[in-house]
Structure 1
């Protein structure tokens, strides 16, 4: 049997070479993971409302020091993820690889895409699939209707769960304590004069969505835009995703959503559930 080595110290009390090497590797691992976390925090700070940023912006949004933010940004430039014009940093197409790693390997998105396209063709409106991620509804699949002005968010887009139809369906799948803890921790803002942005009101909307089997957001995210969402459940009966349609309020009213759109959404969700 090979004897187990115990730590050996030199005369000066320093660790042996084996121990020093192990300590160095461990320190590098910690440093590397910290650096990766900082870089990912900056990447996640980019979005529809932050299409470019300075070093100061990145430091503020990712909660980093300016030197750390600058090193991360320049590293992302060197790797081809960002462009830099001397002041502003902006994402490059290579950034798409990060999201496509999930989208190209997720069976849920692969199964859903043809079903979303079929629902889009029947409704003549954009249809999307989203999952819950840290209090946001994140869109992982979408079939876009061809229009001069598009509706809703794009693939990979995020909406606050508390005031979106998709988010309320997804939050309804959480245990009561976890759902309430999330809502109590998030800063609710009135995005329009119709936004429900108080705890009691949002809880009521989530519970109603769970009871009805669908949720509607009527101009709560943006005036002139409405959405309807239904749950997609896995074989265990748990809500895994939400299927939604977004429309211009002037073209499709709430009653039409309930009468004409809801049956198609439910049918599509059921077909997707049978495939999971």
Structure 2
């Protein structure tokens, strides 16, 4: 490469590195703050790099329940919010996994039927689904809450799963519909002529071909259901059933904020999704790109 090309690439990488640091700075600040003891968090002027490194904030989150039952339960003290952190984390995992499985499976089957079978109103369904996704979720949450009350599903993880499916399914179906339109139907017809059943064609040919779109829909559902606050705040009441996004708000106690626990919980909430996104970002880009072009 010439000196000009080397200088251009160096400048490009420098700009990208600066933008990356700027975008990731809140998470970097949260991580270093979570590694500080409580008295150092409020030092002025504030410092990024901890003078004393400690894991007490993470220990309080991960061992909070055991510590409470060993020390506080016998004396009848109130249960601290940190004692429920692992419960909140497991709840979010269950809700996110259930929502992703249901939304991805239903949207895949629905999109396949829209592109392979004929029925009245076939062309209008994808666009109606997209319009449903464009409506703000806050409009749905209170009617859905009344439905959950009627079926006695409030304060259950199932209510969150159903709520998140309602807001993620329309977009996932539209995405998969756009993707299946680009999958050549001749491949399936050749397999059907050779004697394969429709189910076998779908399982062995269509699903592997559509895997980038399925991964893209799954990642979208994961992000929405993991980060949502509104449904968890309205549907859930008991501390042990809260998702992470709602549970960590209990670290705010009036005018007092436990910034150490807040920053540690923010890191533990963000890192799993960030790692998952980095591992699957190629599939996400491929899925959105393939669904945008009708081949």
Q: Which has the higher helix share?
A: 2
If the length of structure 1 is used for normalisation, what is the TM-score?
0.24
If the length of structure 2 is used for normalisation, what is the TM-score?
0.23
Higher-RCO chain (CA-CA 8 Å, sequence separation at least 6):
2
